[in-house]
Amino acid sequence: MLISVVIAAHDRPELLREAVASVAEQTYGQYEVVVVDDGSSPPLESAPLELLVGDRLVFLRHEMARGISGAKNAGIGAAHGEIVLLLDDDDLLFPHALQTIQAAFAGHPGLNCLFMGVEPFGPYAEGPSRNRCKALERLFERAQPKELDGLLFFSEHLFGELIGRVPIDFQRPAARRSAWDMVGGLDERALFAEPSWAVRAAAVCTVALTVSTLTRWRIHGRNFGWPPGLTAIEVATRNLRNSLLMAEGLERAFRSGGDERSRRRHRLIVKHLAAQHLAMARHLRVERVGAGFSHLARALRLDASAVNLRAAFAYLFPPGWLASIRRLRGKGASSATGA
């Protein structure tokens, strides 16, 4: 069983070499490494990587960057393996990772997609590690996994739970070629699209999560989700926009289903999309009341529930607004009396 490890890379040759070295150290030998240089300047070199994995390397280059999702899609398309997994250029595989993946798919022919357990590491790993544990605990409580052969298989509730929040482990897929064909590639409209891919996979595939950790997620201040040079507000705006783009992509993907199950899923996604518009409206309101009004209107068009109507009222009339009006009126009356 050939396993293709797809790595999209941009401007980080030292970290890329570490990632490829972690593949070279695998206890399972039937693999290839597909590296996509997405417009690095200067271009990345293949020679140092060939020293590590020899002719198992497939090296592609985009002269103009297509973005991380576009680069990963190109790598998936160029892969030859029966199993294709994604590895970021700053992350690592544990030596037993490919052996575990091969055994999982060989032992469970009906398994389409395997999500890989993640261990955060690096100088800023404490917070993400804590958040990961909390997210998984909540998911396990609601989606009721059952363990079999070191794999966690989930109830039908997994789809609905992933719509709201996708733990990092579910953003590290290893999937059969047939699963990539069924689900499709990553959404290139989004900045990073693994979360929405996981939701789509949960809808059409038999999926599982490894009990053991197979990948190491490096938290080092240069991660894609926390780019340098941006203020905290700019990072929040960027991430909220990405959440909106992913939600819009999911709405498009599930819009055309004809059976009741598909319609139910679409309704869940529409409610999620409305919630993302509300979150963006609240965020933009910090600058000025009108800044997020278009997002507020879209949220209500999508889902005019009582909860959202109350949220809209709070947006338009925040706490203390009536007291402020009364104070202004009081000042006006005092001025008139003094005149």
Sign of torsion over alpha carbons 299, 303, 307, 312: positive
What is the predicted pLDDT for the residue at 284?
Answer: 87
The residues with which 284 forms a beta bridge, in sequence order, are: none
pLDDT (mean) for 266-271: 93
Question: What pLDDT band is residue 223 in, cutting at 50, 70 and 90?
Answer: low
What is the topology classification, in CATH, of domain 3-218?
Answer: Spore Coat Polysaccharide Biosynthesis Protein SpsA; Chain A (3.90.550)
List the single range of 23-27, 183-187, 278-282, 285-289 with lowest mean pLDDT. Answer: 285-289
Percent of the chain having pLDDT more than 70? 91
Question: What pLDDT band is residue 85 in, cutting at 50, 70 and 90?
Answer: very high
- Number of Cβ within 10 Å of residue 220's Cβ equals 13
What is the predicted pLDDT for the residue at 286?
Answer: 78
DSSP letter for 188, please.
T
Give dist(CA 160, CA 302) in Å, integer.
18
pLDDT, mean over the chain: 90
pLDDT (mean) for 109-120: 97
Question: What pLDDT band is residue 336 in, cutting at 50, 70 and 90?
Answer: very low
Our measurement of the distance from residue 262's CA atom to the centroid of its chain's CA atoms, rounded to an integer in Å, reads 22
What is the predicted pLDDT for the residue at 329?
Answer: 57
Structure tokens of 22? 């972690």
What is the predicted pLDDT for the residue at 330?
Answer: 59
Q: How far is CA 87 from CA 35, 301, 304, 313, 323, in A?
A: 10, 39, 41, 44, 55
Q: Is the pLDDT of residue 320 over 70?
A: no
DSSP letter for 256, please.
T
Domain ranges of the chain: 3-218, 232-321
Question: What pLDDT band is residue 192 in, cutting at 50, 70 and 90?
Answer: confident
